[in-house]
């Protein structure tokens, strides 16, 4: 297992070296965001990928099968706790604030573990609302997975870019009215594993999804 401070520094270093792209909206492309041992530990979690007939283009269609690194899973699995602690304060948070030019004080950390099977798709959406920041980190090394990156879309919902998909790669953006993204339906031969990191405002209602529901980011 990897200590939270080492994970936090790894994320910070990836952000400091990230490639900034302005089209179709400002986003950051990361490489080697997580230590390999951390990625492997998440992939090795004894949590089976759910068989979902159809997402209808939205993850919330199947809320009962979603996996978050909340209090329960943090207590059950060491890697969930370590990763959550790494993203709660320290170098990772400072690097996010520095890169994105935002203040995360008063927000809460939400980490979702996604395991997408063939047939998965997501309609274009922006993440506006309670989400102050979105960071996706990819985990899978399945053959053929290079085409599994998130689609970044223009205002006409035309896929203008696709985040490079490889273990440890990631994409980050500050949600806004133009941050259209999704996943156009295409073959997934294996399991498309990733984590979605959000820093959300106090209006977020699903408190059980939060890593530290009673402690805002950076608070002692």
Q: What are phi and psi of 153, to 5 degrees?
A: -120, 155
**So what's the pLDDT on residue 50?**
79
Tell me which CATH homologous superfamily contains domain 4-209. Answer: q2cbj1_9rhob like domain (2.60.120.620)
Contacts of 115 by beta carbon, 8 Å cutoff, 6+ apart: 47, 48, 49, 50, 67, 191, 192, 193
* The Cα angle at residue 196 between residues 135 and 24, in degrees rounded to 5: 45
pLDDT band at 218; cut points 50, 70, 90: confident
Which segments of 17-89 does DSSP mark as H helices, in order?
36-43, 71-76, 78-88
pLDDT over 80 (residue 58): no
210 vs 119: which has the higher pLDDT: 210
- For residue 144, the model assigns a pLDDT of 86
Which pLDDT belongs to residue 65? 77
Through-space distance between the first and last CA atoms of the chain, rounded to whole angstroms: 24
Average pLDDT of every residue of the chain: 94
Of all residues in the chain, the percent with pLDDT exceeding 70 is 95
Burial 136-173 (b: 16+ CB within 10 A, else e): bbbbbeeeebeebbbbbbeeeeebebbbbbbbbbbbbb
Instruction: Dump pLDDT digits (tens) for 80-101.
Output: 999 999 999 999 999 999 999 9
């Amino acid at each position: 297992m990897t200590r939270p401070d080492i994970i936090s520094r790894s994320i910070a270093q990836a952000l400091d070296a990230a490639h900034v792209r302005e089209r179709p909206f400002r986003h950051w492309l990361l490489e080697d965001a997580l230590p390999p041992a951390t990625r492997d530990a998440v992939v090795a979690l004894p949590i089976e990928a759910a068989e979902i007939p159809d997402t209808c283009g939205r993850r919330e269609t199947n809320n009962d099968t979603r996996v978050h690194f909340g209090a329960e899973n943090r207590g059950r699995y060491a890697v969930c706790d370590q990763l959550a602690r790494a993203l709660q304060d320290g170098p990772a948070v400072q690097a996010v604030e520095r890169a994105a030019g935002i203040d995360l004080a008063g927000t809460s950390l939400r980490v979702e573990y996604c395991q997408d099977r063939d047939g998965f798709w997501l309609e274009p959406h922006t993440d506006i609302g309670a989400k102050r920041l979105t960071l996706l980190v990819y985990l899978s090394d399945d053959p053929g997975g290079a085409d599994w990156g998130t689609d970044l879309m223009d205002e006409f919902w035309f896929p203008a870019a696709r985040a490079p998909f490889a273990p440890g790669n990631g994409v980050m953006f500050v949600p806004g009215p133009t941050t259209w993204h999704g996943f156009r339906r295409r073959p997934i031969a294996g399991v498309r594993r990733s984590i979605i990191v959000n820093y959300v405002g106090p209006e977020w209602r699903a408190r059980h999804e939060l890593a530290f529901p009673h402690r805002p980011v950076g608070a002692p």
